Amino acid sequence: MEINFFDDSATLRFEHILVYAYPDLRRLWVRIWLPALLDGAAPNVELRLLNPDGSENNSLVLLAQTDTKLNNTFHLKDPVPGATYRMIAELSVGFNAEAKTVDRQEFDLILEFRDPEAEQRGFGVGLDEWFAAASEEDQ
């Protein structure tokens, strides 16, 4: 018997993006879930955080990712507690001029501490079903 760990019908996209600010409000904990795909190139992930005025605060680029769960710490420049920032996440395949964007997500986040241990909701994409599944596991 063969057990297939890959979903042949899955498309390359962000399944979930979850962001929590650390208590010091100078860093963000970012977790990204990607589908497990058998074929295709390892995707690149780019995160850009925009300040409340629209200027870029910082960015993070992860090239040729082969993991399906990515955990990273994102550092902020001159953080403003309570302010609303904009996160832009892009998923691409290839490099340089041949890179092709396959998914792009944007969402707002308020720079405030929310405790994941107390099940306070973080910011991100695809979280409704993720939090619902996590609640079902707890029951």
Domain count, the chain: 1
Would residue 32 count as lying in a domain? yes
Any idea what the CATH number is for the domain that residue 89 is in? 2.60.40.10
Would residue 42 count as lying in a domain? yes
Task: Please determine, for residue 139, whether its predicted confidence score (pLDDT) is greater than 70.
Answer: no
Whole-prediction pTM: 0.84
State the pLDDT at residue 37. 79
Radius of gyration of the chain (CA): 16
Which residues, 6+ apart, have CB-to-CB distance to 78 below 8 Å? 57
Task: Please determine, for residue 79, whether its predicted confidence score (pLDDT) is greater than 80.
Answer: yes
End-to-end CA distance of the chain: 33
Q: Strand, coil or helix: what is 139?
A: coil
Q: Which two tokens stand for residue 81?
A: 């507690």
pLDDT per residue as tens digits for the range 17-71: 999 999 999 999 999 999 987 666 789 999 999 999 999 999 999 999 999 999 9
Q: Partners of 39 in the beta sheet?
A: none
Whether the CB-CB separation of 113 and 21 falls below 8 Å is answered with yes
Task: Please determine, for residue 77, whether its predicted confidence score (pLDDT) is greater than 80.
Answer: yes
Best CA proximity match to 104, nearest among 45, 42, 58, 40: 45
Distance CA 122, CA 108 (A): 11
Which residues, 6+ apart, have CB-to-CB distance to 104 below 8 Å? 88, 89, 90, 91
pLDDT per residue as tens digits for the range 83-126: 999 999 999 998 888 889 999 999 999 999 999 999 899 999 99
Owning domain of residue 35: 16-138
Would residue 10 count as lying in a domain? no
